[in-house]
Structure 1
């Protein structure tokens, strides 16, 4: 009887131990599975952060390639991204580290978005400047073509000037002047010595012309085809005139001499051939040229 009781107790103990072992094995398996699952999630999170950083770097690469005035700032920000990528690559897969990297990424991403707005603004401004530059170049080209056309027109106008009420401008002459501190003016043909240009012309006597103030437009073009002086513009019919200055003459039907000065404003005049044109409104009435060496 005692042996039967002992066997029963032993069996009960074996069963209990077997259950405990089974429970322990099940718990260890679950813990192992959870650890593997957590590790998989952390690896994926690390890969996701790395991809985000790579995309951020690619954005900076594209912006830097556009060579804007912000290139230095963009390069500095890209280096921060590259450094964070290197640190992430060497880091361990733990929650705290990945959370820190994700926060740093968000900060860099916010900075990138701000800078991209500035880049887009600069691109629009640069595009506007290109359009403006093209417009200026077109205007200079049109003015040059207009001036070239005037050279041909001047020969024809000189033959077709009608007598009558129209005033005749003659004896147009231009001198480069060096003015001494004493006020004395000395003529020179050297560009580096010239302080100002002296433009003189005469208006012929005309008894039937209308007396009163008469305004002439003086245009001086240097060897680089630049209009000197005020560079103001007037429109006469279909033509536009860019001129250096105007001179107003009190005409009383008798011949009169006119002299005006164009100051160099502290800058050297260019070497080469200069063209001087006198306009009565939109009509070329006299022209000449001179050289500075």
Structure 2
């Protein structure tokens, strides 16, 4: 009697263990299925991000080929997208938090892309109109075109690749020649013979993932011959090369937009007619550029 009872208890325990094992198997399969679904979703999101970046890169390549005058700014943005795409491509273990941060960065890149493409399209239409009239222009235009091509090649060589993430960027870059009035105040001028100083303004963009703190900002101003004016020293680029600079300031960056004004005076070199190149560097990276056009004074005025 006792042996039958013991045998019955063993059977009950075995059945209970089998039921528990089966339940554990079903639970494991569901967890595995959900994990695979999540992994598949993250892979699809990564694929979509790479597709968007590739599309933007191709648009920049086309715009750079069509717009010599904007090639430097467009190249900076294209290289930023390439660096971002490399970062996403090399991502091994994606998670939703990281994908969401990347998608947020995509939104910012797309906003910048839309702004620059609108400007580039407008310039392309203007360039087409100029091309139609080109046959009636004298040999001076041919010489100027050659000079512009040379300057574009130099700017391309100097354009540092802006790294994704914490790298800072600048916009709204302006340069103005200034003359000193008799009342002791500086006013803007476009005449080379009247210029005594240069005022450069720009805005460092907000970047929530950049490291806050003091940032070294340099401006490099080159005369029409390519010589750096009012050289005060050198700084080191990201690639390790030394670059002479015109002026330097320290920007207390707090991850928000920061307007910067730099005033260069006591310039010993004589200003001449022509195009002056103005480049802005922050932490060794080229973050933007503009040009300053000076003309001859008419009858000393």
**What range describes the TM-score normalised by the shorter chain of this pair?**
0.3 to 0.5
Larger Rg: 1
User: Which has the higher relative contact order, 1 or 2, with Cα contacts under 8 A spaced 6 or more apart?
Assistant: 2
